[in-house]
Amino acid sequence: MEIILAGNAGYCFGVKRAVEIAGKVLKEHRRERIYSLGDIIHNPQVVKRLKNKGLKVVTDVDRIEPGSVVIVSAHGRSEEDIRKLEAKRCFVVNATCPYVKFPQNVIKKLSRENYFIILFGDKNHPEVIGLVSYSANSNIAVVDKSVKDFGFIKSSKVGILAQTTQSKEDFVDIVRRLVAGFRETRVFNTICDATKIRQDEAIKIAKEVDIMVVIGGKNSANTKRLYEISKEYCDKVIHIETEKELDRRSFAGVKKVGVTAGASTPDDIIRSVMETLKSL
Amino acid sequence: MEIILAGNAGYCFGVKRAVEIAGKVLKEHRRERIYSLGDIIHNPQVVKRLKNKGLKVVTDVDRIEPGSVVIVSAHGRSEEDIRKLEAKRCFVVNATCPYVKFPQNVIKKLSRENYFIILFGDKNHPEVIGLVSYSANSNIAVVDKSVKDFGFIKSSKVGILAQTTQSKEDFVDIVRRLVAGFRETRVFNTICDATKIRQDEAIKIAKEVDIMVVIGGKNSANTKRLYEISKEYCDKVIHIETEKELDRRSFAGVKKVGVTAGASTPDDIIRSVMETLKSL
């Protein structure tokens, strides 16, 4: 059985950075209470390891005790939460991905300059929830690729940007439909190239294998998208978090296996999956 | 023979305004030397009438005598030319269409804020020549719809706008190809709706007639485009400046005639064409 592993599987820049920051904080502040506001990255195995080292994960800022050390997750957080932590005299370590900080600053700027803001993304994703908070006024709408009509916008100046992990093709398609209707459209391409590169590689591999294995958190949006994209090009695709979910029966008669992993999947899990696959 | 005249044939807002300004200036300053810098509008018959009333048309600002009255044409002119006229103590009457002043101001602003500027238009058209001059630096490129590659742009910030009379579909298509490659793309929709409305109406009429008559200056870009667009939907299309060019033989066996006219075609010429057509 031939196994093809994607060259770009696993940790992206922002995830690697956030995990390293968390490791450093857990070491340096080991005598203090250390919280993370939301899962630092969307991988349950990595989060569990960090919890074993003493990290407390909470989603609600009000549950954090004053004076604690608090790590802000890679997806970023609302300005209000950061202000609350500062008011509680917490020591805030911001592990927000720099590629997420860019759209945060874009929204602040567009909001200050009175643009109506269109944010292309998933309104329930922590990154998007954080981003929306950087708009001081209510002139922001989160849209997905099904958006058809922009008649609800009562401004002639529109700014548009995207959640970092969205599809560039879908973003460009929304921009195309938007520009004809407004005097000024300010487009910020905030999509992280790592996502695009990973997705393109997954498509390439999915086309030539019998089964595609996508490794990553079941709560990871970019991993779920890798699964969906692979599905379009390969009949058999499985989404697993660890090698324990591999079932020998899925590989009966299989000649070629493709493997890719989401941006929050650690190298050692990818290695374990590879070894288990080789042993089948 | 049934004749369908487009509801939006003839003078647009900017042309009407420029011709009225010229008439007023020729009356109020009749004892002075009155120049126009370029054809006030692109219609030879109208320009001839204005010349008969004393207007001198020159293309080169250096040929204008100091202290003259000078009308700037509807298409606008370069900042340098305006400065030269002021240095010559000329009395400058600016008949630039307000819809052309908007892109002039956009280019000034983008240039000041260090954007690389893409201007979608015909580089030989007076409006475009004027517009380019509002970019203080050399960071501007005039492109047509055949543009494929933007690799020549060495900036992450791009501003794009269009000559007022270009096609909105083509503009949107260029924007679509542009946005994926740059961090920020600032799109100004500077296309005048009058052009689009006129073109859409021409298409609608061209589809249902045996012959289409397009009236307007042979030097008028928007008239030429009306001709080309009509050609796509009707086998027989003729472009005339006046009723004198109508040939009875073209209308043999014709049941339905469509008539439209460019933005610089005066009402009386349209009326004369209509009367001649009715008499055929």
Q: Which tokens belong to B173?
A: 């298509």
Q: Which tokens belong to B90?
A: 């000329």
- Spatial distance between the Cα atoms of B216 and B226, rounded to a whole number of angstroms: 10
DSSP one-letter code for B248? G
Angle between helices A13-28 and A44-52 (to 10 degrees): 10
Tally the C-alpha atoms within 13 A of residue B73's C-alpha that lie toward its C-beta.
Answer: 29
Q: Which of B175, B183, B184 sits opposite A179 (nearest CB)?
A: B175
Residue in A177, A189, A190, A193 to test binding to B, most B beta-carbons within 10 Å? A189
Read off the pLDDT of residues A204-224 as tens digits, 9 standing for 90 and up: 999 999 999 999 999 998 999
Residues on B contacting A at a C-beta cutoff of 8 Å: 168, 171-173, 175-176, 179-180, 182-189
Q: Which of B183, B184, B187 sits opposite A179 (nearest CB)?
A: B187
- Marked catalytic residue, from B28, B65, B113, B127: B127
Q: Which tokens belong to B191?
A: 């296309």
Q: Are B196 and B12 in contact (CB under 8 A)?
A: no
Alpha carbon of A38: minimum distance to chain B alpha carbons (Å): 29
- Spatial distance between the Cα atoms of B149 and B216, rounded to a whole number of angstroms: 35
Q: Say if the Cβ atoms of B188 and A186 lie within 8 Å.
A: no
How far apart are the two ends of chain B, measured CA to CA in Å?
9
Q: What is the pLDDT along chain A (280 residues), one digit of tens a residue?
A: 999 999 999 999 999 999 999 999 999 999 999 999 999 999 999 999 999 999 999 999 999 999 999 999 999 999 899 999 999 999 999 999 999 999 999 999 999 999 999 999 999 999 999 999 999 767 999 999 999 899 999 899 999 999 998 888 899 999 999 998 899 999 999 999 888 899 999 999 999 999 999 999 999 989 999 999 999 999 999 999 999 999 999 999 999 999 999 999 999 999 999 999 999 8
Q: Say if the Cβ atoms of B187 and A185 lie within 8 Å.
A: yes
Read off the pLDDT of residues B208-256 as tens digits, 9 standing for 90 and up: 999 999 999 999 989 999 999 999 999 999 999 999 999 999 999 999 9
Identify the pLDDT of residue A137.
63
CA-nearest residue to A171 within chain B is B180
Pairing of strands A184-188, A157-162: parallel
Tally the C-alpha atoms within 13 A of residue A203's C-alpha that lie toward its C-beta.
Answer: 9
DSSP one-letter code for A45? H
Domains, chain A, ordered by start: 2-10+194-279 (3.40.1010.20), 13-97 (3.40.50.11270), 99-191 (3.40.1010.20)
Residues of chain B positioned with their CB less than 8 A from the CB of A187 = 179, 184-187
Q: Which amino acid is at B171?
A: F
Q: Which of A168, A176, A182 sits opposite B189 (nearest CB)?
A: A182
Q: Are B37 and B64 in contact (CB under 8 A)?
A: yes
- Nearest by Cα to B54 from B26, B17, B80, B90: B26
DSSP one-letter code for A179? H
- Spatial distance between the Cα atoms of B61 and B70, rounded to a whole number of angstroms: 10
Determine the length of chain B.
280
Q: Are B45 and B10 in contact (CB under 8 A)?
A: no
Q: Which of B172, B179, B189 sits opposite A187 (nearest CB)?
A: B179
Residues of chain A positioned with their CB less than 8 A from the CB of B170 = none
- Spatial distance between the Cα atoms of B268 and B258, rounded to a whole number of angstroms: 18
Q: Which tokens belong to B95?
A: 């008949």
Q: Say if the Cβ atoms of B179 and A189 lie within 8 Å.
A: yes
Radius of gyration of chain A (CA): 21
* Residue B136, pLDDT above cutoff 80: no
Alpha carbon of A112: minimum distance to chain B alpha carbons (Å): 17
Number of H helices, E strands in chain B: 9, 12
Strand ranges for chain A from DSSP E: 2-5, 34-37, 56-58, 69-72, 91-94, 116-120, 140-143, 157-162, 184-188, 211-215, 236-240, 256-261
DSSP one-letter code for B246? -
CA-nearest residue to B190 within chain A is A183
